[in-house]
Amino acid sequence: GAVVSQHPSRVICKSGTSVKIECRSLDFQATTMFWYRQFPKQSLMLMATSNEGSKATYEQGVEKDKFLINHASLTLSTLTVTSAHPEDSSFYICSARPLDRLAGTDTQYFGPGTRLTVL
């Protein structure tokens, strides 16, 4: 159980285009989903936290108009990178926190990641 999928797994796009990444919890409902970005040989950097039905909370330095997050249901969150540029090339990973979880635990389950390359 507790499987999170991401689609696509890999995407190459031209500079100036927009790219949408989907994150789905397949066998559980998630109150909260998180979006991370990871550059080579660096740790995961939290970009934003999204709660179903409400606006996402962005970390300092992350442009909310560039990285659009929609959390339309308890099993789906999307990240849209608008007007992508080469510096946006990175590994984007989502995670989901189950709605029904053991008291006192806040385990997150990670998706497999999406590698974005902007030419």
Provide, rounded to whole angstroms, the least separation between the CB of residue 48 and other proteins: 10
Cβ 70 to other proteins shortest distance, Å: 19
Minimum CB distance to other proteins, residue 104 (Å): 6
User: 67-73 and 30-38 as β-strands: parallel, antiparallel, unpaired?
Assistant: unpaired
Q: What is the 3-state secondary structure (H, E, C) of 50-115?
A: EECCCCCEECCCCCCCCEEEEEEECCEEEEEECCCCHHHCEEEEEEEEECCCCCCCCCCEECCCEE
Q: Closer to other proteins at the Cβ: 83 or 107?
A: 107
Q: Which is nearer to other proteins, 70 or 91 (CB)?
A: 91
Binding site for other proteins (CB under 8 A): 34, 36, 41-46, 49, 91, 93, 95, 104-113, 115
Are 43 and 64 in contact, with CB atoms under 8 Å apart? no
Specify the residue, 79 or 113, whose C-beta has the smaller distance to other proteins: 113
